[in-house]
């Protein structure tokens, strides 16, 4: 129930941003049109955004024949988590990372880069993929996928306002200062909405992944290793689509400034410490 409440709040926040940007572009009529566009966008994101995200990353579906070891690992972890078998994808990228997507456990997919398969050992990789399956089990993937898709749409609408200006409800040019302010602040507000629900979600997925894999130390080791390796290897698709960064197990964005300040992920050190404490409590 709480996850559905988070989804509803997220959608309401995204819709409000659409309305604000739309009112700057075209006054009351523009606001209504933007809200209608937002409603259609939310519906589209619910049904199709998983396919869009996988296409952004040029993810290729694999099975027992094309990637037997990785596929069977996911199959075993899904059974341990009492989940339906998700679709399994590989992304041809050197940067080590992974994510889950889909609207519910019955229509879920997990994806990992070929880089993460090379960097991590089997125990560490099991911990990472158990983390992603926890997102599936908690239905976090619906929130992540919709927020990623809609944040990108808001950025596009804000860019339109920036370059083509706005109109009030009488068709006169809008205040250029207000137009620029909204164009700059709307994407930032969309990012803040993502942040508000992302950090706690990652801690919970770490805990759940450690429980499913039965190996908190391996997941802690994986997070530390991904953090160190990923710093020098950009994930090109995420650089082109930064709104999808919060879906990853580790923030892959290379830029500093606002990107570093408004990270959608908790500090790796704190995540590792919590997992090690969990391992210590287990003895």
104 touches 142 (CB < 8 A): yes
Q: How many CA atoms lie within 13 A of 7 on its CB side?
A: 19
- The contacts of residue 266 (CB under 8 Å, 6+ apart) are 199, 202, 203
List the catalytic residue out of 93, 132, 202, 243.
Answer: 132
The H helix count followed by the E strand count for the chain is: 10, 4
- The contacts of residue 32 (CB under 8 Å, 6+ apart) are 22
Whose CA is closest to 92, among 115, 74, 76, 71? 115
Whose CA is closest to 134, among 76, 187, 232, 206? 206
Whose CA is closest to 229, among 117, 127, 123? 117
What is the rounded CA–CA span in Å between residue 144 and residue 101? 8
Kindly state the greatest CA–CA separation across the chain: 70
61 tagged catalytic: no
What is the rounded CA–CA span in Å between residue 13 and residue 161? 19
- Distance, C-alpha 180 to centroid of its chain: 27
Handedness of CA 171, 176, 180, 185 (dihedral sign): negative
- The contacts of residue 117 (CB under 8 Å, 6+ apart) are 70, 90, 125
What is the rounded CA–CA span in Å between residue 52 and residue 241? 11
Active-site annotation, residues: 132
């Amino acid at each position: 129930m709480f996850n559905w409440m988070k989804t509803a709040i997220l959608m309401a926040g995204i819709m409000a941003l659409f309305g604000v940007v739309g009112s700057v572009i075209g006054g009351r009529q523009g606001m209504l049109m933007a809200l209608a566009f937002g409603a259609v966008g939310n519906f589209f994101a619910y049904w199709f955004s998983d396919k869009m995200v996988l296409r952004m990353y040029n993810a290729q579906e694999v099975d027992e024949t094309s990637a037997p070891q990785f596929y069977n690992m996911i199959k075993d972890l899904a059974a341990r988590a009492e989940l339906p078998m998700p679709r399994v994808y590989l992304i041809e990228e050197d940067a080590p990372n992974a994510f889950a997507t889909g609207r519910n456990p019955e229509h879920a997919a997990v994806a990992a880069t070929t880089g993460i398969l090379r960097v991590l050992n089997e125990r560490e990789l099991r911990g990472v993929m158990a983390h992603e399956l926890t997102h599936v089990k908690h239905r976090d993937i619906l929130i992540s996928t919709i927020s990623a898709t809609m944040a990108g749409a808001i950025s596009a609408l804000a860019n339109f306002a920036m370059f083509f200006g706005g109109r009030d409800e009488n068709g006169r040019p809008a205040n250029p200062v207000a137009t620029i302010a909204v164009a700059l602040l709307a994407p930032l507000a969309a990012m803040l909405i993502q942040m508000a629900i992302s950090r706690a979600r990652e801690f919970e997925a770490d805990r759940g992944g450690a429980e499913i894999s039965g190996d908190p130390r391996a997941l802690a080791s994986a997070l530390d290793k991904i953090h160190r390796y990923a710093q020098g290897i950009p994930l090109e698709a995420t650089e082109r689509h930064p709104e999808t960064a919060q879906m990853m197990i580790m923030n892959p964005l290379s830029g500093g400034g606002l990107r570093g300040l408004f990270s959608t992920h908790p500090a790796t050190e704190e995540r590792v410490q919590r997992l090690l404490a969990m391992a210590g409590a287990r003895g």
